[in-house]
Amino acid sequence: MLYQKLNKKNSKRRINKMTITLDNELLSNLTNSVISQMSTTPSARLRTVMECAVRHLHAFAIETKLTPEEWLTGIAFLTAAGQMSSSDRQEFILLSDTLGLSTIVNLLQDGSGLVQATESSLLGPFYRNNAPSYQVGESMARRCNGPQLQLYGRILSTEGNPIPNATVQIWQTDSEGVYDIQRGSEMDTRGVYTTDENGYYHALTVMPKSYPLPSDGPVRRMLNAQSRHGNRPAHIHFLISAPEHKELVTALYVAGDRYIDDDTVFGVSSARLIATPSLDNNAPHPEIPTICYDFHLVAGVAEGGRVGADVATLKY
């Protein structure tokens, strides 16, 4: 029994002026008792994850000498994050992003570094299923104004062969740094394109802008307490899929943005994802600032294991 384990012969308590000193063996016995009680978990993977979580949580509390007041503050913080989350907003994904956890999971998931594939980046909390479909060359910025931007290039295999009929989902902020979902409006500055027989994609949009994370939630209060600026650099998200290829979730970051080297969610994982808009004589519209970028997909794997989802679909 747990009571017996916690009161083993060599597990001592010394009381001096209301101070209780617990020896290391007592703490270790408690951790092992929790893990032992979870040993009946049928799923081996769940058992492994939960065992590691308990060990690290207990070690965290011991190392920091966590006080009851700090423990309650943490409980209140997580409660507020849950209360802030909805079908339009996921405060826990935002928390994961700002702690660098999302990027860690993404880097662990991304095996394309072994071949010449495009690096992945964060899906982010603003991805939405069922974005409108557009023809090659159409604009996905239908309800907002701002400086125009042209996106074009090809979807290729790692061997450089074009991938026809690939699905290219694109989404971004408008030129004021706001996503459509934040405005509560219909979908805008997001769309789905299909590559032609040569793997070519082409989209018109507006220039995205850097933006601050939401200011009304517990994650932002955490950032403020840490004196962090809480801003993301201007970027454009891409989710690219094709039969018999690994799905690619990535983003292009606009060169020269002040937050490129200090992204508050650590999304700029590779310098090769930084793109410079410029006039391009080879572009369909040479008079419009353009980002020309070719994406390379890994062949042979149908599912990519996205780090993220449309938050409206999350269920437990």
For 188-217, how does the pLDDT look when each residue is reduced to its tens digit (9 = 90+)?
999 999 999 999 999 999 999 999 999 999
State pLDDT tens for residues 57-72.
999 999 999 999 999 9
Q: Please list the alpha-helical segments (H only) found in the chain.
A: 2-6, 24-37, 44-64, 68-84, 91-98, 101-109, 180-183, 218-225
Tokens matching residue 13: 């308590």
Distance CA 84, CA 93 (A): 12
Residue 18: which pLDDT band, with cuts at 50, 70 and 90?
A: very low
pTM: 0.85
Q: Which of 236, 260, 244 is nearest to 303 (CA)?
A: 244
What mean pLDDT do residues 152-170 have? Answer: 97
Q: Which residue type is seen at 103? A: T
Task: Taking the CA atoms of 52, 56, 62 and 65 in sequence, report the sign of the dihedral they define.
Answer: negative
Check whether 252 has a pLDDT greater than 80. Answer: yes
Type of residue at 287 = E
For the chain, give every domain's residue range: 2-66, 114-313
Name the E strands within the chain.
13-16, 19-22, 148-157, 167-172, 190-194, 200-206, 211-212, 231-232, 235-241, 248-254, 274-275, 290-292, 295-297
The CATH number assigned to the domain with range 114-313 reads 2.60.130.10
pLDDT beyond 80 at 5 = no
